[in-house]
């Protein structure tokens, strides 16, 4: 027998000989799979980032694992999906590809003052970019399938739903149904874009369709103030479209640091995006010239495309959760404990379907902790402190830790705020009027850095390093004693020695950038 075959059999055989035992950690009791008479030790519904990670890490601990996923398609539906899930197929990855593509317009403009003589028109071929984007997500879909196959995970195509606490029914693409039993079930079905319920809503698109439009819009209206809305506004404007961005609050990016939100809004306007704060859409109508958009203030705009970027809902409706007694909240998010266990002891859930922190790396962390807890003999809770994230606007915003507002809510002592606003070295030559802004939030009593944020070129790359520092408990003195890399924007984080302001928990934050 070939060595690889022996290893494959050993991986699947091991759980059958494992004696049943219980793990205890802080009063939490977790059953470790012993095989029993079930078809699998673990059955996973959903092969997105969380499902794939949970499958292969569980298999590495010796579990016999199966996973089901819908047939591949760039645009999701009740019967279409694909290995890799939202992030890989219709989210982070294709979005970042379009961000790269749209960034070149500004680069071409900036290049002139660096001596590049660009004569004549510079044409953009949307279909070429779209073709290359689609080829990449098809490739990645195959990569995820190979990862699962190489891990010994059984892949089943179809839509999974619960029959009871230990049985999953998979509806195959041809309509046939097959049932599988498992000691443990992991739900990782993610979330789906939602539409605003207004007259003419069927004329709008979501981020799914926005990543696969056959024609690039010349006039785009976007409803929403979150990261998806801001990113698509930057993408389409960078590709030459006229963009109007409508959102209900005074500033976009609710939940982020207010000072940095102001910076992003200023940059969006500086790039030529028309902002409409405190404004909602009330009706869409098809006309000969395009889609007529009517706002709640009575304004009318004609657009080629209207994008609803108004949030996502947990993808739990078709799972038949009630059959097994799995509890959900009022928006359909699956309720879980600190270990990602649902109200049913052997059913677990990770990722956006639980509506905790809806980021791909967080789903990966939750899935890894699940596998360690259930199959690795290491009860492990996900750690949500100091999770970094980025908004890929142009230029991007990236943050880690607490915003100034959050720090004041949690602080027992005064909060020290250090800021730096400067013209990047590149802009000094290109003459682009767009400042980079950095911010550190510090606890005055412990000197610990509670939060770091940056809006400017390469912000996500820089903040990833800041995240390591915050995770290690770095103090402002640690930052001050660190030698900077010159000339770079990143060195500003270790040279901000002048206090911008000191704020007590009882006072309201102010800005002076």
Between these two residues, 25 and 232, which has the higher pLDDT value? Answer: 232
Binding residues for NAD(+): 224-231, 311
Query: CATH for 388-503?
Result: 3.30.390.30
pLDDT in tens, 317-362: 999 999 999 999 999 999 999 999 999 999 999 999 999 999 999 9
What's the mean pLDDT in 4-9?
34
Lowest mean pLDDT among 5-14, 186-195, 298-307: 5-14
pLDDT at 119: 86
pLDDT at 7: 33
Determine whether 257 is exposed, middle or buried from the number of CB atoms within 10 Å of its CB (0-12, 13-18, 19+): buried
Binding residues: 96, 160, 189-191, 224-231, 311, 352
Strands 281-287 vs 449-455: parallel, antiparallel or unpaired: unpaired
What's the mean pLDDT in 413-433?
94
* Residue 27, pLDDT above cutoff 60: no
* Residue 303, pLDDT above cutoff 60: yes
pLDDT at 509: 55
Give the tokens for residue 8: 């494959």
Between these two residues, 94 and 121, which has the higher pLDDT value? Answer: 94
Find where tokens 């698109």 sit.
205
pLDDT at 411: 86
Rounded distance between C-alpha atoms, residue 304 and residue 373, angstroms: 50
Give the tokens for residue 469: 């520092």
CA angle 246, 190, 25 (to 5 degrees): 125
Q: Where do the DSSP E strands lie in 154-308?
A: 154-157, 159-164, 167-171, 177-187, 191-193, 219-223, 242-247, 274-277, 281-287, 290-295, 300-303, 305-308
pLDDT band at 121 (very low <50, low <70, confident <90, very high): confident
* Residue 490, pLDDT above cutoff 90: yes
Give the tokens for residue 425: 């070295």
* Residue 5, pLDDT above cutoff 80: no
pLDDT at 234: 97
Strands 219-223 vs 242-247: parallel, antiparallel or unpaired: parallel
Rounded distance between C-alpha atoms, residue 308 and residue 430, angstroms: 35
Between these two residues, 47 and 6, which has the higher pLDDT value? Answer: 47
- The reply to whether CATH 3.30.200.20 applies to domain 40-91+125-190+315-376 is no
Range(s) of the chain covered by CATH 3.30.390.30: 388-503
Binding residues for FAD: 96, 160, 189-191, 352
Report, as residue numbers or ranges, the catalytic residues.
486
pLDDT in tens, 234-254: 999 999 999 999 999 999 999
Task: Mark out the alpha helices in 159-298 (DSSP H runs).
Answer: 207-210, 227-238, 258-270
What's the mean pLDDT in 97-114?
93
* Residue 403, pLDDT above cutoff 70: yes
* Residue 467, pLDDT above cutoff 50: yes
Q: Which CATH architecture has domain 194-310?
A: 3-Layer(bba) Sandwich (3.50)
What's the mean pLDDT in 298-308?
97
DSSP 100: H
Range(s) of the chain covered by CATH 3.50.50.60: 40-91+125-190+315-376, 194-310
Average pLDDT value for the chain? 91
* Residue 12, pLDDT above cutoff 70: no
* Residue 277, pLDDT above cutoff 90: yes
Q: What is the pTM of this model?
A: 0.90
């Amino acid at each position: 027998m070939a060595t690889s075959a022996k290893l494959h059999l050993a991986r699947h055989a091991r759980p059958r000989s494992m004696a049943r035992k219980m793990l205890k950690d802080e009063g939490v009791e977790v059953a470790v799979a012993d095989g029993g008479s079930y078809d699998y030790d673990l059955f996973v519904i959903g092969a997105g980032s969380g499902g794939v990670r949970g499958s292969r890490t569980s298999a590495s601990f010796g579990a016999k694992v199966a996973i089901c996923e819908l047939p591949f398609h760039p645009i999701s539906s009740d019967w279409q999906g694909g290995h890799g899930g939202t992030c890989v197929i219709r989210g982070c990855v294709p979005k970042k590809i379009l961000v790269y593509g749209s960034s070149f317009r500004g680069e071409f403009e900036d290049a002139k003052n660096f001596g590049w003589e660009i004569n004549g028109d510079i044409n953009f071929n949307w279909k070429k970019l779209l073709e290359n984007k689609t080829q990449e997500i098809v490739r990645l879909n195959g990569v995820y399938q190979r990862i699962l196959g190489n891990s010994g995970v059984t892949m089943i195509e179809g839509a999974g739903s619960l029959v009871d606490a230990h049985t999953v029914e998979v509806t195959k693409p041809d309509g046939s149904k097959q049932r599988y039993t498992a000691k443990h079930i992991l739900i990782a079905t993610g979330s789906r874009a939602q539409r605003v319920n207004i007259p003419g809503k069927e004329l709008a698109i979501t981020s799914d369709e926005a990543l696969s439009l056959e024609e690039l819009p010349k006039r785009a209206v976007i409803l929403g103030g979150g990261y998806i809305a801001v990113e698509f506004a930057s993408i389409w404007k960078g590709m030459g479209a006229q963009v109007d961005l409508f959102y209900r609050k005074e500033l976009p990016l609710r939940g982020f640091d207010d000072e940095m939100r102001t910076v992003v809004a200023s940059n969006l306007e500086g790039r030529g995006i028309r902002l409409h704060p405190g404004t909602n859409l009330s009706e869409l109508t098809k006309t000969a010239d395009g889609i007529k958009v009517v706002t709640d203030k009575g304004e009318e705009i004609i657009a080629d495309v209207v994008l609803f970027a108004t949030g996502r809902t947990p993808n739990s409706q078709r799972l038949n959760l009630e059959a097994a007694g799995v509890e959900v909240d009022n928006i359909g998010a699956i309720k879980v404990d600190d270990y990602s266990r649902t109200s049913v002891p052997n059913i677990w859930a990770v990722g956006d379907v639980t509506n905790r922190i809806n980021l791909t790396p967080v789903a990966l962390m939750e899935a890894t902790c699940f596998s360690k807890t259930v199959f690795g003999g290491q009860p492990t809770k996900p750690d949500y402190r100091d999770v970094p994230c980025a908004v890929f606007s142009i230029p991007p915003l990236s943050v880690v830790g607490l915003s100034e507002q959050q720090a004041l809510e949690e602080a027992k002592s005064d909060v020290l705020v250090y800021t730096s606003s400067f013209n990047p070295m590149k802009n000094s030559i290109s003459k682009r009027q767009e400042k980079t802004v950095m911010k550190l939030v510090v606890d005055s009593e412990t000197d610990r850095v509670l939060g770091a944020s940056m809006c400017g070129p390469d912000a996500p790359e820089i903040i990833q390093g800041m995240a390591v520092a915050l995770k290690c408990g770095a103090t402002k003195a640690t930052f001050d004693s660190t030698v900077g890399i010159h000339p770079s924007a990143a060195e500003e984080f270790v040279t901000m020695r002048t206090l911008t302001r000191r704020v007590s928990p009882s006072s309201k934050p102010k800005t002076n950038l």
